[in-house]
Structure 1
Amino acid sequence: MNSWMLYGAYGYTGNLIAHEAKLRGHSPVLAGRSAKKLIPLAEELNLDYIILDLENKDTLVNTISGFDLVFHSAGPYINTSAPMVNACLKTGTNYIDITGEIPVFEQNFKYDDEAKDKEIAIISGVGFDVVPTDCLSKYVSDKITAPTSLDLGIAAFSNPSPGTLKTVLAHYNIGQLARRNGRLVRLEDTSIRKIQFSDKERDGRPVTWGDLSTAYRTTGIPNITTYFPLPKKFPNLLEYLGVSPKEMLENEESKKKVNKWIDKNIHGPDEVKRKTYRSYIWASVKNDKGTEAQAWLETMEPYRFTGVSGVRCVEKIFEMKPRGALTPALAFGADFVLEIPEIKRFDSID
């Protein structure tokens, strides 16, 4: 029987993944740094656990060598992914995570040849970031010949988890990016565009989304822009706490102050919201001949989706045995997202 470890199991999303895994008959070993947080969850689910810190490289390698797969759910991944990926490459252990961070995607794709040599898969973004958008990008890109541009609209409504907000702030200085001629560039034009989602039309603004990396890897389309229906102005947490972006990035005390406030005040969506909220995705491609194609997707609430999708990705890796540093759509196909409950895909809408 295939064995796997869930690292960061007691975080908001890790907890959802652990419960989904148990519901589907899995028995992952739960892992994390805090015994105080980890042991109650392990006892609740009647699962084994390991207290494990990423900073001890030898212990990390020795620990994961006994597993076929590591599901890494502890971010921000810009800080945590590399030690775990390197350990997995040493031990020949499959690696997946739920990052949406572009630098992490870009770094992990560089391990493609090494992962193939080790006969393992390295797949980042197996949650809402980026399974639905990646699968829809692949699906719509296959509709026309030689697409040269891809536009994605993501209307995902939910409360942020503590980990999500910390990750956003960790990349505060990255700015709004797009992909142009195959390169990631800062986007100067951030004007609003009208986007017709499957439920209604919304105003979308360009945002920095993981698909700027993964959709390029999946489709090879050189020009990609991602949109989100953001308001013109929304509350600035750093300003509220009296911390500058520079201090957040460079000053440990400032970072601790912000993270302490987040841990105290941010809790993620409750069960009612996870069960009732919906998300909407639109994808459009064009080629140099002027041919266009569109498709739409509806999904369950993002954090609930991540729990369900993440565990399905574990199952697909054990079933299909993909090899290399891959995106979800490259590993499992464009229709993988349709295997997840409550998903609807449309080729046209009224």
Structure 2
Amino acid sequence: MLKPILILAAAAAMIAMAIWLMPSQSGLFVGGVNILPWILPTVMTLALAEGIILRLSSRTYDWKAWFASSSDAMIRQFVNLIPLSLVGPAFALAWTHRLFTIHLGPAWSFGVLLIGQEFCYYWLHRASHRIRWFWASHAVHHSSNNFTFAAAYRLGWTSKLSGEAIFNTPLIWLGFRPDTVAATLLFSLLYQFWLHTELAPRLGWLEWILNTPTHHAVHHASNEAYLDKNFGGTLIIFDCLFGTFAQQRTDTPCRYGLVKPLASYNPGFIALHEWAAMVRDIRCAKTWRDGFGYILGPPGWSPTPQKAMNAPRHSPPDHLSKEAMDRHVSPGKS
């Protein structure tokens, strides 16, 4: 009985720290209330509540993963204060040479912004799985071996370094203000928070339009049949259009995490392990071309592919092909 009490006390203390010790940030006002400082404590509390519900229903819950994700998120708040942004100049250039100036007001302006943001996010997310430079940051989000709310805010510390926000530049060039685009992306990420749970039911006909917990569970699965599927943020329509949609199969339960599971709960290791692996590969590269391949190629890219070792793409899930094992692989404790 003492252990659960200590876990909840430590979690409550960490949430309190998130409320009182977070550095000041720019505001995001909804109805005159700045919601930005309250986002992290709120999602941490909801993730804690999910853990309690699962334990009360006699299901397992990885409390170490909750603390790892929460530590990652709290440290990220401070890292984001560093005035480093690879995409800032690109945003400024796009805004200076914008095609139009679009003021939000008419219904069509919101429609264009929301659909445009979803389109940009789809390609950002897809590139984050297919270009190792972006994957080095995004692998953090997939490192949790559980599909819970706590995994939703495990996002790492290096998104500014990777420059992944560059995919939003077309919206700014079209004529939407950079802060408006950033706020729209934030609301998309807030929507995606509730997708990270197995407690939610299927949503019927909405499953054909929206990104749902069922669809996102497939995205987080490391089964070969599910790799690189369902990249949408709030909608699933672009996955259907571009051939990356996959239904969750009753005969193939989702196995979450990286293909080679990451066993560490160390926030620093979680945040930087894939960057370290990429640097090691670059240092071993024999040519400049190989070096760039390790940066811009897909995860698992090699200058000497061993085709003879590749198993059929549709081999049983417990015997993944070498190609599938190479993609999304990250070092972890065995």
Bucket of the pairwise TM-score, normalised by the shorter protein: under 0.3
> Comparing both structures, which one devotes a greater share of its residues to strand?
1
Bigger share in helix: 2
Please give the TM-score of this superposition, normalised by the length of structure 1.
0.23
**Which protein has greater RCO, CA pairs closer than 8 Å, 6+ apart?**
1
TM-score (norm 2): 0.24
